């Protein structure tokens, strides 16, 4: 898959909460969120924690745990928190991992080839 650059925003990071506390982002600020997003894309740790919470963990599709060792996210604060993520992971995986981390409090502003 080709590398994509996702431009994401979170209007109120302090209020951005995932449904499952054991998966939720606990840091402060867009730089810390970018570090958590990078880790969520590069390693399967977040996926493994989510999988363990499922009623039948052995039945979870292992392709949902795909990673991108070269994924990189950067964050900055403007009138909102902005995250730029470069990865080969498909949008479905990016969406899933962001939702596990911060719920539905994020938006995609743009996607471009990296």
Would the pLDDT of 15 be above 90?
A: no
Residue 17: what pLDDT?
Answer: 86
Record the pTM: 0.93
Q: Is 56 left (phi over 0), alpha (psi -120 to 50) or beta?
A: beta
Indicate the pLDDT class of residue 83, thresholds 50, 70 and 90: very high
CA 44 to centroid of chain Cα atoms: 12
Cβ count within 10 A of residue 2:
6
Q: Is it the case that residue 78 has pLDDT exceeding 90? A: no
In whole angstroms, give the CA distance from residue 6 to residue 90.
11
Is residue 23 within 8 Å of residue 92, measured between CB atoms? no
pLDDT band per the 50, 70, 90 thresholds, residue 77: confident
């Amino acid at each position: 898959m080709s590398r994509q650059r996702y431009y994401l925003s979170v209007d109120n990071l302090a209020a951005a909460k995932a449904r499952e506390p054991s998966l939720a982002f606990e840091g402060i600020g867009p730089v810390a969120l970018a570090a958590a997003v990078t880790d969520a894309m590069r390693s399967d740790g977040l996926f493994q924690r989510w999988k363990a919470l499922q009623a039948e963990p052995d039945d979870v599709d292992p392709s949902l745990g795909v990673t991108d060792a070269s994924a990189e996210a950067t964050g900055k604060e403007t009138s909102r928190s902005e995250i730029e993520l470069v990865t080969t992971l498909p949008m479905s995986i990016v969406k899933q991992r962001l939702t596990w981390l911060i719920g539905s409090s994020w938006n995609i502003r743009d996607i471009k080839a990296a």
